[in-house]
Amino acid sequence: MKILVVGAGATGGYFGALLARSGQDVTFLVRPRRAAALRERCLRVVGKGEEWSVEPRLVTADALTAPYDLVLLSVKSTALEQAIEDVAPAVGPDTAIVPLLNGLAHVDALNARFGATPVLGGVAKVVTTLDDAGDIVRLAPLAHLTIGEQDGTPSARVEKIRSVLTEAGIDVLVPADVMTAMWHKWVFITTFGAVTSLMRGTVGEVNAIAGGAELGPAVLAEAAAVSAAAGHPVPEAERTATLGIVTANGSPMVPSLYRDLVAGRPTEVEHLFGDLVARARALSVPTPLLDLATLHLRVHQARAGGAPVSG
């Protein structure tokens, strides 16, 4: 299977590196600056007892000339529009696209550009970041992918993709409804992001102050209500797991959105929060805390050089 990984960051780079290490035919679509760094240092994975590297096959957008069998799309939502245009020459009639972004707006954008047929649903659960040298640092053991057809039907291509990913040592789930899995990840990431971003602190710092432990459950209730109104109720076991993460005493955990926020970089506010609260309005679900988090992040976005959003 001929595989194109769009982006060699903390998520796509990690799963792509596993595929490359296993001998799969993998190419990374990257910007020229990232390509130069990877040619110099290779693609390195460190942390949690791991220290290994692969020499990645690289391509830039101007050099894409033929379709691939599988495209793993893993970019920040702020780069999505350009990534879709860049990857277009790699998408043929038999190409499967697995997006690994959080939220759902990217699925709408991909469907609009390529049609729904090539686009699968996808969820990545991995705790990684890039260090100053551009190496991928694992921060926790969690690392698996969830994939499936948008309409939930079983398919031979999904099974083939699962087999290839599994052979590379990647844990892969194929649920009955991948869109529900995407909604539930969205609920988690916005809850986690709102708690840490609104309070400008780690989970442990938030929960160490008077009243802090009440914030996570309140935000989760709002996000879960939107998901339920959209037809994707969050099971009690998943709600409990999310609460365990966002109310953990002493936890140093923060999401990548928080790291971007405190570093003064633009965030994925519109993709993660703006889209969710817009859907909440359409579904008549009140979300005052998520609205506040969205406003907070939009002010930061304007300061960081992102386009401000007006009501």
For residue range 250-302, what is the model confidence (pLDDT) as tens digits?
Answer: 999 999 999 999 999 999 999 999 999 999 999 999 999 999 999 999 999 99
Question: What is the per-residue pLDDT across 57-103, written as a single tens digit (0 to 9) for each?
Answer: 999 999 999 999 999 999 999 999 999 999 999 999 999 999 999 99
Cα 170–88–23 angle (5° rounding)?
Answer: 30
199 Cβ neighbours under 8 A, 6+ residues apart: 205, 206, 212, 215
Q: Work out the average pLDDT over 18-32.
A: 96
**Mean pLDDT score of the chain:** 95
Would you tell me how many other CB atoms lie within 10 Å of the CB of residue 133? 11
C-alpha distances out from residue 56 to 17, 20, 238, 291, Å? 8, 7, 36, 42
Pairing verdict, β 120-130 and 136-149: antiparallel
Predicted confidence band of residue 109 (pLDDT cuts 50, 70, 90):
very high
Contact 298, 308 (CB under 8 A): yes
State what percent of residues in the chain have pLDDT above 70.
98
Q: How many helices (H) and strands (E) does the chain have?
A: 13, 10
Q: Rounded to whole angstroms, how far apart are CA atoms 164 and 25? A: 11
Residue 310 confidence (pLDDT): 43
Q: Which residue has the higher pLDDT, 291 or 49?
A: 291
User: What structural domains and CATH numbers belong to the chain?
Assistant: 2-176 (3.40.50.720), 180-304 (1.10.1040.10)
Q: Rounded to whole angstroms, how far apart are CA atoms 92 and 88? A: 8
Bridge partners (DSSP) listed for residue 6: 29, 73
Give the residue from 275, 115, 174 showing the smallest Cα distance to 297.
Answer: 275
Structure tokens at 104: 């759902």
Give the residue from 63, 7, 52 showing the smallest Cα distance to 33.
Answer: 7
Residue 311 confidence (pLDDT): 42
Q: Work out the average pLDDT over 190-206.
A: 98
Ranges assigned E (strand) in the chain: 2-6, 25-29, 43-47, 50-54, 57-59, 70-73, 96-99, 120-130, 136-149, 171-173
Residue 308 confidence (pLDDT): 46
pTM of the model: 0.93
Specify the range with the lowest mean pLDDT, choosing from 46-55, 113-122, 205-214. Answer: 46-55
Residue 201: pLDDT above 50?
Answer: yes
Specify the range with the lowest mean pLDDT, choosing from 25-39, 65-79, 296-310. Answer: 296-310
Give the residue from 118, 165, 162 showing the smallest Cα distance to 14.
Answer: 165
Q: Work out the average pLDDT over 47-58.
A: 93
